[in-house]
Amino acid sequence: MKRRDILKLGATATTATLVSGSVGLLSFSQRASASTISVVLNAVAGDITMVDGSSVRVLTFSQSNAPSFPGPTILAQEGDSVQVTLNNRLNTGVVFALGGTNIRQYVAAASSVTTTFVVPRAGTYLYYDDQNNGVNRVLGLHGALVVMPAGYSNQSFAGAPTFTRQYKWLIGSVDTNWSNQIRTNGASHVSSLNPSTYQPRYFTLNGKSYPHTDGDSKTAPYGLYGQAALLRLLNGGGMINAPHFHGNHVEILSVNRQNYTSNRKKKDIVSMFPLDTRDVLLPFIRPPDAYPPITTQMQEFPMHCHSEMSQTAGGGQYPNGLHVCMHMGMVPPSEPTL
């Protein structure tokens, strides 16, 4: 498919609440009292299959012995505590660090450590391994923590606009040379990788590339007109990305957990630096600038990245990179589960 063609697409005491297998946050219900969220993460190495069938080696946080790229999403609400048991099954030390906080736990090779912390205020947080100038994170050791505001199930923070559905979009990227070195030399080789040699060849959204993103109900936004969607954007990769929205501008609600209660900017491009988080509202309105005016009920519009290389896979296969379709005027086939 050519580039111009894709642009035409138009109260319990303790609970385990990883959202990867649960109902969507559309059904999130507030609890009357705080809980302790128990999470078990395994640091593992393994191969994942990219959009073109290539196999790459990654290091990830997972709930099993198989790799999970990215790691599972943790869901909590303000006031909760999270108890993380990290089982390090690698031959090198790993870290669980939570962006925007001083929460950081080191776990030696072939060891297990349990740490408990009170969740920060409502927002979107990247958890990741912060070692080796970003190398460990980019290789796959990252995931998302979503903290819902106490007393609200359809707002990202008190005073924010309401939404009908919300989606997590975690950006990733894969350098096949780094992957091959880890496969050959083992996970302990992370300390020998030079960040200046980073040359990503694959670009993902929630671990998938287009067209696989479009078949993922956790990633591809759906909604009837007027059913606004909250998009929680995180950049766990190693390059600057620029998601570009067709059809609707998005409203910037939060930038690295700084909330905007008024005078919010509306953008069709959202810059995402490594480690950034952005919460944006996709309004799901009929495109106001379309001519001739759009009168049909259902329309599809692309989100694609304006960092040109990230629109490809394997060093040039377009459009098998950082793309997804937004389905306006359509009921989702299944509710999102982040």
DSSP 307-327: SGGGG-BTTTBTTSSSEEEEE
69: closest CA among 277, 208, 234?
Answer: 208
Give the Cα separation of 3 and 5 in Å (integer): 5
Q: What is the pLDDT of residue 27?
A: 56
Residues 93 and 202 placed together within one structural domain of the fold: no
pLDDT tens-digit series, residues 85-113: 999 999 999 999 999 999 999 999 999 99
Contact 175, 193 (CB under 8 A): no
The stretch 27-52 carries a mean pLDDT of: 90
Q: What is the pLDDT of residue 336?
A: 82
Residues 177 and 308 placed together within one structural domain of the fold: yes
Phi, psi of 323 (to 5 degrees): -135, 155
Residue corresponding to tokens 């060093």? 315
Phi, psi of 17 (to 5 degrees): -130, 55
The domain that holds 70 is classified in CATH as 2.60.40.420
Which comes out higher in pLDDT, residue 303 or 288?
A: 303
pLDDT at 298 over 70: yes
In a domain, residue 1? The reply is no
Give the Cα separation of 113 and 48 in Å (integer): 26
Strand 243-245 relative to strand 299-305, pairing: antiparallel
Residues 219 and 304 placed together within one structural domain of the fold: yes
Contact 207, 69 (CB under 8 A): yes
pLDDT tens-digit series, residues 197-207: 999 999 999 99
Which range of residues forms the domain containing residue 107?
11-148
Residues 117 and 225 placed together within one structural domain of the fold: no
Which comes out higher in pLDDT, residue 13 or 103?
A: 103
DSSP 265-291: -EESB--B-TT-EEEEEE-----TT-S
